[in-house]
Structure 1
Amino acid sequence: MKPFTEQNYYEVLEVSPDELPLGIRLAYKKSFELYQENSIASYSFFSEDERQEILSRIEQAYLTLINPETRKEYDQSLIASGLLEEERTFRDRTKKPIAIYNFQKTLLDSPAPARRFGELKLRIEQNPVIRDLLARDILGGSDLQKLRTVLDVTLEAIAEKTNIRIDILRAIETENLDLFPPLVYLKGFLRSYIRYLGLDERVVLDAYLKKLGLH
């Protein structure tokens, strides 16, 4: 069996290259639960650093494969490397799945989230605290937490809708760099967080990365 770090994303999640998006979601949840801090397998066989590395790899695999565009790009890289045959890739011939990042498409498909998004926009426009924060060039984790609190959004709600682990969301708000995934995936998490709050993705993301010195 290949070492975990050498497995491709399909092998990490133990799914076939033509797996449906629902199967990828279920595989991700199963893998995540297996390596949680309180799981028997995690406790018995892995150090904390190893467990975090595995969870990070699982997150990377999920975020890549659940998004149709990044999945297609990843499949093409495997095909180019001779690691995957094109006929074995997933092709959605009916309806494209909603990626966890595609908040705008979700709004179009679901009236309830659309109403919620409209309410958030109204709060953002009318609240002076939010306007003041969004006018800043630099935003820290505590500022994101303040924005979320003023908008009356819980971390649990964000975690449920985006499938981002709640400890990662807390790490973003506390700027706990030790728990951060690689930058490319951190940006993906931040975009999901920001979009769920109905904020300007470019403005808030840039301001937060400036605070961390990562812009």
Structure 2
Amino acid sequence: MEKQKNYYDVLEIPPTASQEEIQQGYVRAKNAYSLDSLALYSLMTKDECDSILNLIEEAYSIISDPMKRQQYDEARGLNKDFNYHERLRASDNFKRNDSPDSKLDAQLGTDKTPNEGNVKRIVASKKFALDYQENPEMEERITQTIDYTGDFLKEVREYKNVDILRMSEMTKVSKTYLKYIEDEAITKLPATVYVRGFVYQYAKCLKLNPEMVASSYLNRIKELKG
């Protein structure tokens, strides 16, 4: 069974986040996976984006409500010394004074029907065909690997005879960011939501399991950041 998502990780906020930080995390996440996000242009299908957006909404609905948040935290042993009653009052004041709903509409945009053409599905075609000599030993390594590093991604890319320029053309990700991913240049990588999209498509183009590779790589980056 898939491990349950951590709602704080989904919104990229700490477990002790304030109401304002929760809103900011929600806005960042929504913008990152919106249909008109340039960072995801041609990277993910509409269904994939919708799935992530639904998870973002689910996370926000729980974490932004102090009572639901308390139940969520208690079930996971988080924020044991957290004053939820005080946070509830702060939440009420925040809603009255800052009108977060209207702010969210302004920050997320008022267009409820964005142009779906901005997210195009990568289709199977000659452009994405892989032409390489299979090596049983390497194929076995790929099959057995569950922890993906930048070095191993590069090794697989080169093994499958895809140079960095072609990978950039296939993924619509700049060569610079692809090299940052392979070099694990953590200080130069963009926000986590973008890295996930880039690595997801990188893996997809190499006929790897994109969900597993993206999750594994992000765990690797998290460890490197300490």
Once the two structures are superposed, residues 94-119 of structure 1 have per-residue CA deviations (whole angstroms, 9 ceiling, x without a partner) of xx6662xx44xx11xx4x257x25x5
Letter of the 2:104 partner, please give it: S
Letter of the 1:63 partner, please give it: A
RMSD: 4.2
Structure 1, gaps ≥5 residues long: 1-7, 10-20, 25-60
Pair 1:159-2:193 in alignment: no
Supply the distance in 1 between the matched residues of 2:217 and 2:165 (Cα, whole angstroms).
Answer: 21
Q: Which residue matches 2:104?
A: 81
Which TM-score applies when normalising by structure 1? 0.51
Q: Which residue matches 1:192?
A: 201
8 Å contact kept, 1:136–1:207: no
Count of residue correspondences: 145
Pair 1:62-2:38 in alignment: yes
8 Å contact kept, 1:130–1:147: no
Evaluate the alpha carbon distance shift between residue 134 and residue 204 of structure 1 in structure 2; reply closer, same or farther with a 3 A threshold: farther
Once the two structures are superposed, residues 160-215 of structure 1 have per-residue CA deviations (whole angstroms, 9 ceiling, x without a partner) of 12221111100111111111111111111000110111112233233333433459
> 1:139 aligns to what SS in structure 2?
coil
Pair 1:211-2:220 in alignment: yes
Evaluate the alpha carbon distance shift between residue 177 and residue 134 of structure 1 in structure 2; reply closer, same or farther with a 3 A threshold: farther
Which TM-score applies when normalising by structure 2? 0.49
Higher Cα radius of gyration: 2
Q: Which moved more, 1:135-144 or 1:176-185?
A: 135-144
The answer to which structure, 1 or 2, has the higher relative contact order (CA under 8 A, 6+ apart) is 2
Moved over 6 A (4+): none
Structure 2, gaps ≥5 residues long: 1-26, 29-34, 58-100
What's the offset of the Cα at 1:64? Answer: 4.9
